[in-house]
Amino acid sequence: MKITLIREEKETGKETLSTCDTNTFFEKIKTETKSGHITALRELLPALEGTRSRYEHIDKLPRIYPAVEYSRTKEGERRMKLYNGLVQLEVNKLSGRYEVEFVKRQAELLPQTFAAFCGSSGRSVKIWVRFALPDDGGLPVKEVEAALFHAHAYRLAVRCYQPVLPFDITLSEPSLMQSCRMTLDESPYYNPDAVPFCLAQPFAMPDEGTFRQRKQDEKNPLARMAPGYETAETFTLMYEAALGRALREVENWRRGDDDLQPLLVCLAEQCYKAGVPEEEAVRQTLIHYHRQADEQTVRLTLHNLYQECKGFGQKSSLGKEQETAFLLEEFMNRRYEFRYNTVLDDLEYRQRDSIHFYFKPVDKRVRNSISISALKEGISAWDRDVDRFLNSEYVPLYNPVEEYLYDTGRWDGKDRIRALADLVPCNNPHWRELFYRWFLSMVAHWQGVDRQHGNSTSPLLVGAQGYRKSTFCRILLPPELRFGYTDSLDFKSKQEAERYLGRFFLINIDEFDQVNVSQQGFLKHLLQKPAANLRKPYGTAIREVRRYASFIGTSNQKDLLTDPSGSRRFICIEVTAPVRTNVTINYKQLYAQAMDAIYHGERYWLDDEDEAILKRTNQEFEQISPLEQLFHCYFRSVDAEAEEGEWLTTMQIMNYLQTKTKDKLALNKVAQFGRTLQKLNIPCRKSYKGTQYHLEKVG
């Protein structure tokens, strides 16, 4: 089995990819290299904690990817060669060598443990767990299937290993890209003959059950049976030791005959002294004594004893309201994790005591459930107290687009933005550069680099049905940000349309030709608007909403543009063949390139030369009004210095055209017709009669 090692060069930003046999890898990490970077890192880490500084040679330590053996395509992109079926679990924030070795010994108890070794920090343990498909023991071949398999495998690994480990597993979103730094461990645990967990190939991402559903699963011993292992009802050594001391203290206690309450009191005290987290003690006690006590009794008993051990049971000078506030804050931080999504303008949460990786909205049902859970723990908090906490600065702010952009890493120097533009087949030689500037502008406005202007340019993809134009628009956003994509903008509700500026990252104006002339005026207003001043529903104050949205459009019709003054806000491209959307896009590097270009001051707006190109290339997409067509039938432009021709005002031209047609021409179109004549660059001059155009009658 081969694992992947990737090292980024700090100076050039390029990455070096190599593979290594697992036998060689575990021999390699037993001894330090001459450079001694890992030892130096471990010595410096205590001094770096709490600061923004980083170890200067950290990039010398390559990242290890156990799940996948990668290779390079001809274009230099990563591609999955083989899926190894190894899931990485992490136990972090250990005190030192003793706890590291203790965790490794506990991991050895399960025959599915492929490896367990100390992390590069010296205070963490990485555990590699082996998985395989049933029957033949094979593994998924396609990357999509491997990603689904890996997500389910990670959840199963956490559920089976957490009871064995004396410390919490650091939960992370399951991904094939799970990795760790090169490390040093003189005695790693390595078992190449580990018995794999058998897991059937899933066909969808795992669903996250509710807290109540998970508790029911844990109470059911059958739900904890793991294929390939007799039983997963193994407790941590720390918990078992605490339980043993409690049983010795409560002499002659017998399961089923005696009251559980005295044992719970002693067990809670022993667990607290042993350092077992409260939620972990509750969970394991429910598994062990689920037939003798319900969840609420166990939770209240252990919580009260933990609070007493922490000093909350002692007499204090705090008033009742103050004590309630402190207890509610401790309850909230212990049971839940909250954040306020500034883009969605919504409060989100996930539970700390269950395997949840995704945040969900805090609706009325969730608020009521939190209030009831607090009351059950004896905290005399009203609904308004819970709401007051949730709507306060105790809940941190979270901006998903900024989190994503600043986590893209260093750009490797390969041009991916223009390569993305090349997926759209067209005959416009300026498309790549225009798309490049538009893409930089989109990312720059996500960052908030320029809050005085909006991204006022919008690409328009014009082509036949089935050319995958809308699909291309959708894949411009990475999967993590695709919730910020929409193709249903309602121009009839102007306030809602303006609200979309701060709610979405990319707005696709699908079927652009359905936008009528009056709506195109409002669209131009939206394109140039740097922010929206709106009143929240049921709110009283009008506040400024930051704009994130950039625009793109698609159409099957070519005559789209109706503005006679020009069309510099649109990049119209005729798609000549289906867009190549069945490609793998390295989104991290795609957006890392944009971040790098903006950081180095590269221009992300269109200059005068670019706008001149737009006006010239967009002419074939402009609608020619019936009045303009009639004009070309009876007039032609004449040079201002030529002797032939005559100087005519707009009204005189329309009067003459009226004599040539039976249809009545609307006089209220005079101003608009004048702008059309200016767009045609007809020689003109100012006079007391108004603007006159030098023309010759041809019909």
* pLDDT tens, position by position, 411-457: 888 999 999 999 999 999 999 999 999 999 999 999 888 877 888 88
Q: What is the dihedral of CA 324, 330, 334, 337, to 10 degrees?
A: 90
Residue 572 phi/psi, 5-degree rounding, is -85, 125
* pLDDT tens, position by position, 154-177: 988 887 888 788 888 888 888 888
- Please check whether residue 64 is in contact with residue 119, taking contact to mean a CB–CB distance below 8 angstroms: no
User: How far apart are alpha carbons 353 and 368 in whole angstroms?
Assistant: 18
Could you say which DSSP state residue 235 is in? -
Query: Mean pLDDT throughout 168-197?
Result: 88
Residue 387: pLDDT band with limits 50, 70, 90: very high
Residue 578 has pLDDT above 50, yes or no: yes
For residue 396, give the amino acid letter: P
pLDDT the model gives residue 354: 53
Query: Mean pLDDT throughout 547-573?
Result: 81
Strand partners, 570: 458
* pLDDT tens, position by position, 634-679: 777 878 777 677 787 878 777 777 777 767 766 666 666 777 777 6
**Which has the closest alpha carbon to 597: 453, 477, 485, 436?**
436
Angle, CA 147 vertex, CA 143 and CA 152 arms, to 5°: 150
User: How far apart are alpha carbons 121 and 54 in whole angstroms?
Assistant: 13
Name the 3-class secondary structure at 339. strand
DSSP per-residue string spanning 476-520: TS-GGGGGGEES---TT-HHHHHHHHHH-SEEEE-SGGGS-HHHH
Cα 398 to chain centroid distance, Å, stands at: 12
User: How far apart are alpha carbons 193 and 518 in whole angstroms?
Assistant: 71
More confident residue, 16 or 223: 16
Residue 388: pLDDT band with limits 50, 70, 90: very high
pLDDT the model gives residue 538: 60
Rg of the chain (C-alpha set): 33
User: 155: which residues sit within 8 A by CB, 6+ positions away?
Assistant: 174, 206, 355
Cα 133 to chain centroid distance, Å, stands at: 30
Of the chain, the percentage scoring pLDDT greater than 70 comes to: 85
User: How far apart are alpha carbons 493 and 470 in whole angstroms?
Assistant: 23
pTM: 0.60
Of the chain, the percentage scoring pLDDT greater than 90 comes to: 24
**Which has the closest alpha carbon to 85: 147, 171, 5?**
147
* pLDDT tens, position by position, 17-31: 889 999 999 999 898
Residue 216 has pLDDT above 50, yes or no: no
Strand partners, 3: 20
Token readout for 580 is 């190549």
Average pLDDT along the chain: 81
Residue 84: pLDDT band with limits 50, 70, 90: very high
User: How far apart are alpha carbons 97 and 123 in whole angstroms?
Assistant: 7
Highest mean pLDDT among 131-140, 219-228, 368-377: 368-377
Residue 232: pLDDT band with limits 50, 70, 90: very low
Residue 87 has pLDDT above 90, yes or no: yes
Token readout for 250 is 């409560």
Instruction: Provide the b/e sequence for 416-433 (b: ≥16 CB within 10 Å).
Output: bbebbbeebbbebeebbe
pLDDT the model gives residue 505: 92
Token readout for 450 is 């320029």
**Which has the closest alpha carbon to 568: 603, 528, 601?**
528
Token readout for 555 is 């159409």
Specify the CATH number of the domain 409-621. 3.40.50
More confident residue, 9 or 472: 472
pLDDT the model gives residue 229: 27
Tokens 């033949």 belong to which residue? Answer: 136
Query: Mean pLDDT throughout 397-419?
Result: 89
**Which has the closest alpha carbon to 585: 471, 443, 475?**
475
pLDDT the model gives residue 248: 83
Residue 496 has pLDDT above 70, yes or no: yes
Q: Is 350 exposed, middle or buried (0-12, 13-18, 19+ CB in 10 A)?
A: middle
Compute the residue count for the chain. 699
Determine which of 87-91, 195-199, 282-286, 622-626 has the lowest per-residue pLDDT on average: 622-626
**Which has the closest alpha carbon to 7: 78, 17, 323?**
17
User: How far apart are alpha carbons 344 and 399 in whole angstroms?
Assistant: 9
pLDDT the model gives residue 226: 33
* pLDDT tens, position by position, 589-601: 999 999 999 999 9
Alpha helices in 126-171 (DSSP H): 143-161
More confident residue, 505 or 534: 505
pLDDT the model gives residue 50: 60
More confident residue, 306 or 370: 370
Token readout for 160 is 């089976």
pLDDT the model gives residue 418: 94
More confident residue, 588 or 218: 588
More confident residue, 307 or 369: 369
Q: Is 498 exposed, middle or buried (0-12, 13-18, 19+ CB in 10 A)?
A: buried
Strand partners, 88: 128
**Which has the closest alpha carbon to 350: 398, 384, 383, 318?**
398
More confident residue, 234 or 22: 22
- Please check whether residue 626 is in contact with residue 562, taking contact to mean a CB–CB distance below 8 angstroms: no
Phi/psi class of residue 681: alpha, beta or left (left: φ > 0; alpha: ψ in -120 to 50)?
A: left
Residue 14: pLDDT band with limits 50, 70, 90: confident
pLDDT the model gives residue 21: 92
Query: Mean pLDDT throughout 223-243?
Result: 46
pLDDT the model gives residue 650: 76
